[in-house]
């Protein structure tokens, strides 16, 4: 399962890079309703998600009892001023971060993939029970990533 998830993430990143670079962010952002994230903010949010989940995917390999705080996504996006960040830089950072995560996933011991982890709703995009399997958390990360990419491009 880890190989399939790792390959899925690598493939999503490879497909996403070319399509994101073709996106006209001025055109995309001009039609955004008040309070909706700009293209740069969506990718910034995905960078933040990668940063938080990278820690989870490493720590949960040796400490399934670890509890994680839920981050305030709107504040993270606002305080890092992604809206005014360079588009190419954001795409590059997003891609590199997710390639690192795909590598981490590929190295996870198979026994850990079915290990229960605590956190449930506080860790996941999809609503679920309080205790979940590590593999579910990884699948959920990829679903979340594709959800937000789908707001920008066909994926």
Per-residue pLDDT of 144-153, as tens digits, reads 999 999 999 9
Q: How do residues 79-129 score in pLDDT, each as one tens digit?
A: 999 999 999 999 999 999 999 999 999 999 999 998 887 765 555 565 555
**Count: domains in the chain:** 1
Is residue 80 situated within a structural domain?
yes
CB-based contact 45:73 (threshold 8 Å): yes
pLDDT at 90: 98
CATH number at residue 104: 1.20.120.450
Residue 82 domain-assigned?
yes
Question: What pTM, to 2 d.p., does this model score?
Answer: 0.91
Is 154 a domain residue?
Answer: no
Residue 63: which domain range?
2-27+36-149
């Amino acid at each position: 399962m880890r190989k399939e998830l790792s390959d899925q993430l690598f493939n999503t990143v490879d497909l996403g890079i070319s399509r994101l670079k073709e996106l006209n962010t001025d055109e995309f952002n001009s039609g955004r309703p008040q309070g909706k994230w700009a293209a740069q903010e969506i990718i910034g949010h995905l960078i933040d998600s990668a940063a938080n989940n990278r820690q989870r995917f490493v720590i949960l390999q040796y400490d399934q009892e670890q509890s994680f705080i839920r981050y305030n996504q709107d504040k993270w996006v606002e305080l890092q001023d992604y809206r005014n960040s360079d588009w190419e830089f954001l795409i590059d950072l997003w891609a590199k971060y997710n390639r690192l995560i795909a590598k981490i996933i590929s190295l996870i011991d198979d026994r850990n993939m079915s290990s229960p982890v605590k956190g449930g709703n506080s860790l996941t995009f999809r609503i679920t029970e309080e205790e979940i399997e590590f593999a579910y958390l990884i699948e959920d990360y990829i679903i979340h990533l594709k959800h937000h990419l789908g707001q920008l491009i066909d994926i």
